[in-house]
Homo-oligomer: A and B are copies of this chain.
Amino acid sequence: MSSIEERQREEKEQRRRTILDAAETVLETKGRDEMTMADIAEEARLSRSLLYVYFEDMDDIVLGVTHRAFQSMRRRFQSGVTQHDTGLRQIRAVGDAYVAFAQEEPTYFDLVAEFESRAADPEEATARMRQCLAEADRALEVMADAIQNGIDDDSIRADLDPMQTAVTLWGCTHGLIQLAANKGTGLEQRYELSSAALVDEGLSFLGVSLAGQPPDAPAETLPADQNGNA
């Protein structure tokens, strides 16, 4: 009896994967906006109704693919870190890995971007949404560890909080890559900015702050927020 139930579970999981594979293919060809449930069903050679048995709705399916995207991203981060020695080099490797991720898996990157651009209520979140958040957290941990390494080996200034800095770098890098990817061609035309160089030098720009002297030394050069924003 256990073997039968087991087989049923495996088949169920397999069909779930089939649906996600199909959705991924459609996402790559038509894009998120044009995709319909019928497209996914046809690609998976299943009835449209069946999709609703395995997933809540299309958002749920997309979240499933998004989870894959976060997994791939985190793996790239980890791989980048392990290939370098000093903390600063490691964190730079994470940045480069993110660039490569956006270039080589643009569909995945778009899913991550869309996920990041939507508010995620802390407790009131779907199970699949939590999966994505958990994977993103693991990626942040990788970055925070690299920063801690840098603090320990003196390649990164010691007054930074590793996790806070990881979040900061994550947000900056993401915004930078997204801007270059979507508005890059326009920028290359109007000004003479290669989007690749823009991102590359942008990462170096961030590296300066990581290695540079703490901000409290030249207090004059860093005026505080004068609007009283808490």
Contacts and interface: CB of A to CB of B under 8 A. Distances in A.
Number of copies: 2
Contacts of A121: 185
B229 A103 contact: yes
A61 to B, nearest CB: 16
A226 B163 contact: no
Chain A interface mostly helix, strand, loop or mixed? helix
Interface stretch (A20-28, A39-47, A50-58, A169-177): A169-177
A204 interface: yes
B211 A222 contact: yes
B163 A171 contact: no
A36 to B, nearest CB: 16
A230 B186 contact: no
A206 to B, nearest CB: 7
21 contacts: A88-B221, A99-B229, A100-B229, A113-B117, A117-B182, A122-B186, A163-B191, A168-B201, A171-B176, A171-B178, A171-B202, A172-B176, A172-B202, A175-B175, A175-B176, A196-B229, A200-B225, A204-B222, A207-B215, A209-B209, A212-B212
Interface of A: 84, 88-89, 92-93, 96, 99-100, 103, 113-114, 116-122, 133, 137, 155, 163-165, 167-168, 170-183, 185-187, 189-191, 193-194, 196, 198, 200-209, 211-213, 215, 218, 221-223, 225-227, 229-230
